[in-house]
Amino acid sequence: MSAKPRIAVHKFASCDGCQLAFLNAGEDLLTLAELVEIVHFPEAGPLDPAAKVDLAFVEGSVSTPEEAERIRAIRRHSRVLATLGACATAGGLQALRNFANAGEWLAGVYATPETVAALDTATPIREHVKVDFELWGCPVNGEQVLQAVRDVLFGVSPAIPDEKVCLDCKRRGNPCVLVTRGEPCMGPVTRTGCGALCPAMNRGCYACFGPAENPNTAAFANRLEGLGLLPDEVARRYHFITSQAPAFRAAGKKEAKDETP
């Protein structure tokens, strides 16, 4: 057994973007590799999915029966388990099928849908096993991932930002897209971590980092409707990349219900 802490990065239903964000850390990742032993990381090369590790990162949502079994095995083999990105923490784009008839979609796409092993829903990892901490984003912030690893190595609980994107915009001097341009921006209910990237480019935030602390989703829905959005359009903004985050899931369902005649 190596004296170094052992780390694994597992992939479930996802686009691999969060693993790439991890790899894009560059020299910092090389420094990390001197402190730990990376035993499983498909995007980087090492393959040992059954390895027992001190810290396991999981990217992606649970979308198939095989994944539902595999995540339980990973939990058993991991001292600490963390989710990596929007798919693992809140379902991701594939969780949009949770609001439709999955069987009808399969039949419309595949000639023999009965051969496709898929669950009716795509769900976050926390709905299947205990998760020790969650790193949000689409993709996740690579610097946050490395800092979380360092924190775990030193026995510290990772500090996960949950303040609103609006505060980051204030600090960075970004003009408010909602106020100055009259465009929908999810910043008032979305946690920071991206560096307020979209507002910095004069684009509205689309909530890829999930709900901020204490998001007032009802009041903000009224504000979006004041900009001319119909309730169904507001619901789609909550039910997008992080639709399975409880606060957004409930807010979107309420708006969709309000739209029903």
Amino acid sitting at position 221: A
How do residues 68-102 score in pLDDT, each as one tens digit?
999 999 999 999 999 999 999 999 999 999 998 98
User: Which pLDDT belongs to residue 1?
Assistant: 45
Distance spanning both ends of the chain, measured CA to CA:
63
Angstrom distance (rounded) from CA 51 to CA 74: 9
**6-153, which class in CATH?**
alpha beta
Angstrom distance (rounded) from CA 165 to CA 256: 25
User: Which pLDDT belongs to residue 260?
Assistant: 54
Percent of the chain with pLDDT over 90: 74
pTM of the predicted structure, to 2 decimals: 0.90
* Domain boundaries along the sequence of the chain: 6-153, 165-259
Q: What is the mean pLDDT of the chain?
A: 92
Q: Which of 38-47, 56-65, 173-182 has the lowest mean pLDDT?
A: 38-47
Indicate if the pLDDT at residue 179 is higher than 60: yes
How do residues 42-63 score in pLDDT, each as one tens digit?
888 889 999 999 999 999 999 9
User: Would you say 78 and 56 are in contact if contact means Cβ atoms under 8 Å apart?
Assistant: yes
Angstrom distance (rounded) from CA 51 to CA 2: 12
Indicate if the pLDDT at residue 261 is higher than 60: no
